[in-house]
Structure 1
Amino acid sequence: MAVSTSCLSWVPATASNWKLKLLPFNEPSTATSSFSSSSTINCSIERISRDEGIYNRRPLLLGVGALATSLLGASPLFAEEIPKNYRAFVDSTDGYSYYYPSDWREFDFRAHDSAFKDRYLQLQNVRVKFIPTEKKDIHEEGPLDEVVNFLVKHRYAAPNQKTTIYDMKERTIDGKIYYTFEYKLSSRAFSRTSFATIAIANGRYYTLVVGANDRRWRRYRDMLKVVADSFRVLDI
């Protein structure tokens, strides 16, 4: 069974209109919250308001026993598949998921659908956005090297920034195609290195970017790579 199927098969059909942040079973919650937590599962669910065109975030406390039964019944290995010190973010309404470091906190990043950042280093963060497209998969954008070079030089970089692309790769998981690449944007005053993963599904062009200040990149690169490689698009 491919990774994306085994990690995400727990999402119940009745949760199709919700966003879920699921914490590992063996790790207590460190996120601040106005509702009580459980030593077994702690999750927050956010309702999306389609009519208003924005997200109305309403943390709710579910019956933990019922939720645990649903998760374990659907995928007994789900908790083991979340890497240690990470949490899973699953948006079953907008059709994507990824892991993020367990000590990061959610924040609003302009024009993005979801975002998490380091508690103390705000420039060390992950964010996801999507735009409509009529294309069916990322191959329709072009070959890997052409797409990556165009994005980094003409979409991600400001006019005064120098671009460096270190690595790029293509993966196919459960029939979905992903381009993941590592790149650096630098200017006189500041440099930042990032991973990006892009994919097309559900009539949407998805982009995940996770990065850090260039001075901290060597130390945190492997941790951030887990985030970039974990990105999955779901059928909605």
Structure 2
Amino acid sequence: MARLVVVQQQQQRLPSFSPLPASLSEFNATRLQTQLQCRRKVSQLKQALHVAASNAKKTLTVSLTEQMSGESDKGDADFSSKTKDFAVPRRNAMALILSGCIFSQVSLQGPAFAQQSVVALREYIDSFDGYSFKYPKNWIQVKGAGADIFFRDPYILDENLSVELSSPSSSTYKSVEDLGPPELAGKKVLRQYLTEFMSTRLGVKREAKVLSTSSRIADDGKLYYQVEVNIKSYASNNELAVMPKDRVVSLEWDRRYLSVLGVENNQLYALRLQTPENVFVEEESDLRRVMESFRVNKVTA
């Protein structure tokens, strides 16, 4: 009876554990099914976590993008508000560019739009000999040039200015009209230039012509003649060659000579300007200012 009671007590304790499978195959099936369910749950959990992480990433990305876009839009709006006064429509901008190009071409080609020179002039007064004139401020005086006074450009050596006057003891000029009309005075000036430029070199040829002659009465009440002359010098590169085809003649220089003539103190005064022709085109206004500034004055004993 005691053994029976113990067995019954052991049988009564068994229901507190999970029931065992009736066979090994049933145990394996149950175990496999449990594993599959666990794996399915784990897979679903991973998928849920992945989706949640992906959604969180997208949300964060969208939020950052919207924030940056908002800041950019705000910056663009601020920049636009600051620069709207300077904004030019595309069509108007093209019109401005085209008009600027056209104007620049006209200003370079048309004489009406030529740039005015602003060269400063300095006055030179010779009270002893009785004349005065203005010359470019950057020109330098050269001593011993054979004229009463001589200035030249420090960079363009062929551009210079000089004043010459006749001897007071051997001249009896009363007026510049003693030279005849301006045309005749122009021929005399040209002849004097050709005499000065006479050369002993072989193969040298000079072409000279009077471009213009005129007369004017200045603010001092005196009459002045103005003469413009062009002289070209040609020379052979091989003047000793026997065959003419070997003596090729080319242009050496091409210059403009501007002279202003006036009479005072029984003397003839001549202001002479020399400049290359290509330089004269650029500095014509300045050189004419120098010409118009020339005055002859009465010398008092």
Fold equivalence (TM over 0.5): yes
Greater strand proportion? 1
2:176 matched residue in structure 1: 138
Partner SS for 1:190: strand
The correspondence for 1:223, drawn from 264, 286, 297, is 286
Distance in 1 of aligned mates of 2:139 and 2:173: 33
* Cα separation, 2, equivalents of 1:196 and 1:109: 21
Contact 2:162 2:273 in 1 (8 A): yes
Larger radius of gyration: 2
Q: Secondary structure at the match of 1:187?
A: strand
Aligned match for 1:149, one of 158, 169, 187: 187
1:171 aligns with 216
Distance 1:102 1:217, change over 3 A: same
Q: Is the 8 A contact 2:150 2:162 kept in 1?
A: yes
Give 3-state SS (helix, strand or coil) of 2:184's partner: helix
Q: 8 Å contact 1:109–1:127 — kept in the other structure?
A: no
Counterpart Cα distance in 1 of 2:180 and 2:222: 15
State the Cα RMSD in Å: 1.6
Q: Distance in 1 between matches of 2:129 and 2:188?
A: 26
Identify the residue that residue 234 of structure 1 maps to in structure 2.
Answer: 297
Residue 89 in structure 1 maps to residue 121 in structure 2: no
Match among 115, 125, 138 for residue 103 of structure 1: 138
Q: Could you say which residue in structure 1 is the equivalent of 2:207? A: 162
Deviation track 1:144-170 (CA, whole Å, cap 9, x = no partner) reads: 111112221x11124542112222210
Distance 2:119 2:188 in 1: 35
Matches for 1:11-90 after TM superposition, within 5 Å: 85-90=120-125
2:284 & 2:274 partners in 1: Cα distance?
A: 8
Per the alignment, residue 129 of structure 1 pairs with 164
Q: How many Å separate the matches in 2 of 1:149 and 1:215?
A: 24
**Deviation sequence 1:44-69 (CA, Å, 0-9, x none):** xxxxxxxxxxxxxxxxxxxxxxxxxx
2:217 partner amino acid:
T
How far apart are residue 231 of structure 1 and its match?
Answer: 0.5
1:120 aligns with 2:155: yes
Structure 1 residue 122, shift from structure 2 partner: 1.6
* Structure 2 residue aligned with 1:186: 232
2-structure distance, mates of 1:113, 1:184: 24
SS at match of 2:214: strand
Count of matched residue pairs = 153
Uncovered stretches (5+) of structure 1, i.e. residues with no partner: 1-82
Question: What is the TM-score normalised by the length of structure 2?
Answer: 0.48
Give the drift of 1:215.
2.5
- For 2:189 and 2:229, locate their aligned partners in 1 and report how far apart those are by CA, in whole Å: 10
1:59 — aligned with what? none
Preserved contact between residue 211 and residue 224 of structure 1 (Cα < 8 Å):
no
Task: Give the distance between the partners of 2:136 and 2:283, measured in 1 at CA.
Answer: 11
Q: Taking CA–CA contacts closer than 8 Å with sequence separation of 6 or more, which of the two structures ends up with the larger relative contact order?
A: 1
The residue number in structure 2 matching 1:204 is 267
Partner of residue 3, structure 1: none
Contact preservation (8 Å) 2:119, 2:286? no
Q: Which runs of 5+ in 2 are unaligned?
A: 1-117, 199-204, 235-251
